[in-house]
Amino acid sequence: MIERIETKQRMSRIVKHNGTIYLCGQVCKDAEQGIKEQTETMLEKVDELLIQAGSDRKHILSATIYIKDMKYFAEMNEVWDAWVPQGYATARACVEASMARDALLVEISVVAAEI
């Protein structure tokens, strides 16, 4: 069975299938902030959605991070490294990409296991 949560015409915020949770791309809460703040609030949104879906950051299987410019890579990783629980590193990719809005510096897509 496929369960879609907070579905709109273009996408669902969460899709669950066979114990796997797929989150749509998440961005920051305030695009006027710097890369660290954007990364922090983006990951807060991931936490909220994972809890809503019945999971948490210890159950993330993979993450794809889209970063506007690789000059932000080290700063983004500082926040990421502090956020990922010790011993629970995910499979991860990070790519430089154009963003949907010019002020956005980072976006993430997450796949997790249900608890």
Q: At what angle do helices 73-83 and 35-53 cross, to 10 degrees?
A: 40
pTM of the model: 0.96
Does residue 107 sit in helix, strand or coil?
strand
* Per-residue pLDDT at 102: 96
**63 contacts 106 by C-beta, under 8 angstroms:** no
**How large is the average pLDDT for residues 18-42?**
97
* Per-residue pLDDT at 70: 98
- Average pLDDT value for the chain: 97
* Per-residue pLDDT at 99: 97
pLDDT in tens, 52-97: 999 999 999 999 999 999 999 999 999 999 999 999 999 999 999 9
87: left (phi over 0), alpha (psi -120 to 50) or beta: left
Question: Shortest CA distance to 92 belongs to which of 61, 56, 55?
Answer: 61
